[in-house]
Amino acid sequence: MLKLLAQRFAFLSMILISLGLMLVGKADGVLVERVRLAVGDVVAPVIEVIFRPATAIANAVNGVRELASLRADNGRLREENARLMHWQTVARHLDVENQALHAQLNFIPDPDASFITSRVIGDTGGAFVHSMLINAGSRDGVRKGQAVVSGETMVGRIIDVGLRSARVLLLTDINSHLPVMVEGTRARAILTGDNSDRPRLDYLSPNANVAPGDRVVTSGHGGVFPPGLPIGVVSSVQDGVIRVEPFVHRQQLEYVMVVDYGLAGILPSDVSAAADSREPSARPQGPEH
Amino acid sequence: MDLWVRHLLPLGLTLLLVLMEAMPTHLPGFAEISPLLPLIGVYYWSIFRPDLLPAVMAFFIGLLSDIIMGMPLGVSALIYLLVQGTTASQRRFFLGKPFVVAWCCFSLVAVSAIFLEWALVSMLNGHLIPLPAVLFEMLMTVACYPLFSWLFGRAQSALLRDA
């Protein structure tokens, strides 16, 4: 009887503890974050070792699949290469011209970027959270708020950093808000994730003309990411809701680069997740809803 | 000593499911609807060996899962705790019943658990999480039950026959 009572009591207190944790976590408790990081650091290498065989099998399957499309790919790539060679010539020319003009204007250049390449070891959260674990952490130079790119394409940013692992918040996550612009018109907006495949373009100025197919790039406002990192193309404009199809999808990410652009930006070092959404200069007119 | 190690089996298998959930599958569209695997472990062992997977363990499995998944801390902890509590208290009903009964009840449990998870995460985020992906997550979880239940059954009869 007494034992049953004790069990009931333990059960109830654990329920209260979980509810308490939700509230504390919501209030950005530094302690909660520390616990998170410590556990993450222990678990990350375990995940990595356990699933090495699974990764090997997946790679083998992929290899076979790629064989099938080798011929078609080759033709396509040849064509693309020819086109890119042309662009390379153009870019070289523009680069030289740009440097000359910069020199004449005493332009202050952006600081040079440094990269950390890292493997994606966990794709987590299912329908609720769009985030990933990577196997590089603070000892490799990863810092909170840094941009995460795949190739040249922006995929997300670092929100938690442990010693040897870090968590990437993808652009599609419901907590992701990113200052962007439409490349052709330079119209600014905020790219807001909503846990669907295609994030929304919010706070676009009403007279901006946006059509499907327009490229969306980072705007560099807020000083965290450099301007001009490609993100995706506008895929649909319906009832005032503009959706953006990202260039890179979650499942394609195997290796990502964490980029340090040397921009101190507006991210305070120890306040978590939604920090940039609180930054006033990155937030255009109009209330949050 | 040997028995003591074997008694860690339910916990170990459920923890493995927690890690499996975090595995990148690289399948298009799968990540968003990946099943809530640890729920299967918590449910199965709450019916068949609640002594080896008590409420405290369910709570800590949930906490670990929250940390690995990057979920708001406490959400999975609460859900696994509630699933363990309800299932273990009703376990006499399942013993001796055919598999289909356990599966049907699991789908009920899974739907309510994931719905609660949806409500909590939406509330903590201040935005509604889109429902379609969540509904698919429920379906996937229910569909995965027979396989894992069978595997657990094999493991149980091979290693936990003693008691």
Residue B27 in domain: no
Distance in angstroms (rounded) separating the CA atoms of residues B129 and B122: 6
Using CA atoms, how far residue B136 sits from A89, A239, B31, B66, B140, in Å, is 49, 26, 11, 20, 6
Give me the pLDDT at residue A270, please. Answer: 42
Is A271 a residue whose pLDDT tops 80? no
Residue B28 in domain: no
What is chain B written as a DSSP string?
-HHHHHTTHHHHHHHHHHHHHTS----TTTGGG---HHHHHHHHHHHH-TTTS-HHHHHHHHHHHHHHHTPPTTHHHHHHHHHHHHHHHTHHHHTTS-HHHHHHHHHHHHHHHHHHHHHHHHHHHTSPPPHHHHHHHHHHHHHHHHHHHHHHHHHHHHHSTT-
Instruction: List, in sequence order, every residue forming a beta bridge with A160; answer none if it has no partner.
Output: A167
Q: ∠ at Cα A50 (A49, A54), nearest 5°?
A: 105
Residue B150 in domain: yes
Contacts of B64 in chain A (CB under 8 A): 39, 43
Distance in angstroms (rounded) separating the CA atoms of residues A144 and A273: 9
Whether the CB-CB separation of A172 and A212 falls below 8 Å is answered with no
Please provide the average confidence, as pLDDT, over all residues in chain A.
81
Contacts of A253 in chain B (CB under 8 A): 24
Contacts of B72 in chain A (CB under 8 A): 22, 25-26
Q: Give me the residue label for tokens 């790219």.
A: A191
Query: How is chain A split into domains, by residue range?
Result: 113-289
Question: Domain A113-289 belongs to what topology?
Answer: Thrombin, subunit H (2.40.10)
Picking from A18, A43, A122, the nearest residue to B78 by CB comes out as A18
**Region B128-151: what's the mean pLDDT?**
91
Give me the pLDDT at residue A278, please. Answer: 40
Distance in angstroms (rounded) separating the CA atoms of residues B36 and B61: 13
Distance in angstroms (rounded) separating the CA atoms of residues B156 and A29: 41
Residue range A226-237, pLDDT digits in tens: 888 899 999 988
Residue range A56-103, pLDDT digits in tens: 787 788 788 888 888 888 999 999 999 999 999 999 999 999 888 888
Q: Which domain holds residue B6?
A: 2-22+33-159
Nearest CA in chain B to A29: B73
Distance in angstroms (rounded) separating the CA atoms of residues A172 and A126: 12
Distance in angstroms (rounded) separating the CA atoms of residues A87 and A282: 33
What's the pLDDT band for A284 if we cut at 50, 70, 90? very low
B74 and A132: CB-CB below 8 Å?
Answer: no
Contacts of B55 in chain A (CB under 8 A): 7, 10-11, 14
Task: Judge residue A72's burial from the number of C-beta atoms within 10 Å of its C-beta, 0-12 exposed, 13-18 middle, 19 or more buried.
Answer: exposed
What's the pLDDT band for A265 if we cut at 50, 70, 90? low
Residue B43 in domain: yes
Give me the pLDDT at residue B131, please. Answer: 87
Predicted TM-score (pTM) of this structure: 0.79
Distance in angstroms (rounded) separating the CA atoms of residues B26 and A252: 6
Give me the pLDDT at residue A263, please. Answer: 64
Whether the CB-CB separation of A257 and A181 falls below 8 Å is answered with no
The tally of domains found in chain B comes to 1
Structure-block tokens of residue A15: 């329920």
B 112-151 residues with CB below 8 A of A? 117-118, 120-121, 124-125, 127, 129-130, 133-134, 136-137
Give me the pLDDT at residue A159, please. Answer: 87
How distant is the Cα of B1 from the closest Cα of chain A, in angstroms? 25
Is A42 a residue whose pLDDT tops 50? yes
Q: ipTM > 0.85? A: no
